[in-house]
Amino acid sequence: MTGLLGMLAAIALTAFCWGLYGPVLHFGREEMGSALRPFVCVGLAYFLIAVVVPLLLLRRGEKGAWTARGLLWSLLAGAAGAFGALGVILALAFGGRPIYVMPLVFGGAPVVNTLLSAAMNRAFGQLKAPFLAGLILVITGAVTVLIFKPQPHTAAHAAAATETPDADTTTADEKPAEVKPAPAKTERKLERLVEVLLAVALAIVSWGGYGPVLHRGQAAMGGSRLRPLVCIGLAYFLIAVLVPLALLAPLGDAGVWSLRGGLWSLGAGSLGALGALGTILAFACGGKPFTVMPVVFGCAPVINTLAALVLASTPLTAVSPFFLAGMIVVAVGAATVLSFGPRTHSPAKPA
């Protein structure tokens, strides 16, 4: 019972942190006007929380040991997490909004997670009907949240309404300007949509593979909690700090470093690192990628959407009943996945 409660608490920590990740990171990207600079701050936060602090704690001792196999798998998990974060940042930079980018990512990632987990453990036979039904509910709810997402409430619409001339004040000589189609603008919107979807696909594939790979690394290190986290932080430092800093000048990045943008981005990185810690703790309490990751990816978009609504000051009247229904479906699907998920690996075949 204690292990189950610990696993649920760790899952809640991960879902909460990763749910806030997108909206917080969006503010950092807007403040800096860059995709690479917030990524650097995310990597720095990971380095502090996932490398420096765990190394200090390891001096007191912890179960498990460093192994080459565990290092490899854990570094791969960190690389997957970093590329997933890059995908989210690129999706926001291409014009996507966290209120629908994150639910789309969290809706697709459980599918990749489940298929990869089953392939790595050769456990397709353990995917029973209730588990698959719960997985479908999670994905359906996340897509519903995406389709019926509330539109951000901005002052731009009000300003446009006040500047529109009244029909009574328009003279006979003043004819309204003829609206001409803008094919170039339409094509550009289509291109940006494709860019957003490609970036979202990168995040889905990367974060979908994160859980199974991390679980393999932690198991190879004897169930250690801090050692896999150190590897994740090192991978983030390489991919999210050193590489972007080297690319700022060659790519002609037009953004600027700012205190507000740095704080928002560091906050996003801190949330990501704490979410990674929560995932490791859930595995240490007996959770498996089959169950832990779908529940995390099911609950995180709900938290993401609520946070985006609060931060954007969106009125409650803009929330559709279908949107709320989608969040309920996600919660029901997550509970079903947790209840009927595979508990053990397939038994070994006799020699």
CB 54 within 8 A of CB 229: yes
The DSSP annotation for 230-271 comes to HHHHHHHHIIIIIHHHHHTTTTT------HHHHHHHHHHHHH
Q: How far apart are CA 265 and CA 53, in angstroms?
A: 19
Give me the torsion for CA of 314, 266, 274, 78, rounded to 10°.
Answer: 120
The reply to whether 171 falls in a domain is no
pTM for the whole thing? 0.76
- Give the count of domains, the chain: 1
Cα-trace Rg, the chain: 22
CB 202 within 8 A of CB 83: yes
CB 73 within 8 A of CB 232: no
Q: Is the pLDDT of residue 160 over 70?
A: no
Q: How far apart are CA 308 and CA 22, in angstroms?
A: 8
| Mean pLDDT within 302-319 | 75
- For residue 135, give its domain range: 2-151+183-340
The reply to whether 106 falls in a domain is yes
The reply to whether 270 falls in a domain is yes
Specify the higher pLDDT residue, 341 or 325. Answer: 325
The reply to whether 85 falls in a domain is yes
Q: How far apart are CA 194 and CA 241, in angstroms?
A: 27
CB 105 within 8 A of CB 293: no
The reply to whether 295 falls in a domain is yes
The reply to whether 200 falls in a domain is yes
Q: Which of 75-84, 151-160, 275-284, 308-317 has the lowest mean pLDDT?
A: 151-160
Which tens digit of pLDDT belongs to each residue from 193-224? 788 889 989 998 998 899 999 999 999 999 99
Residue 254: per-residue pLDDT: 85
The reply to whether 164 falls in a domain is no
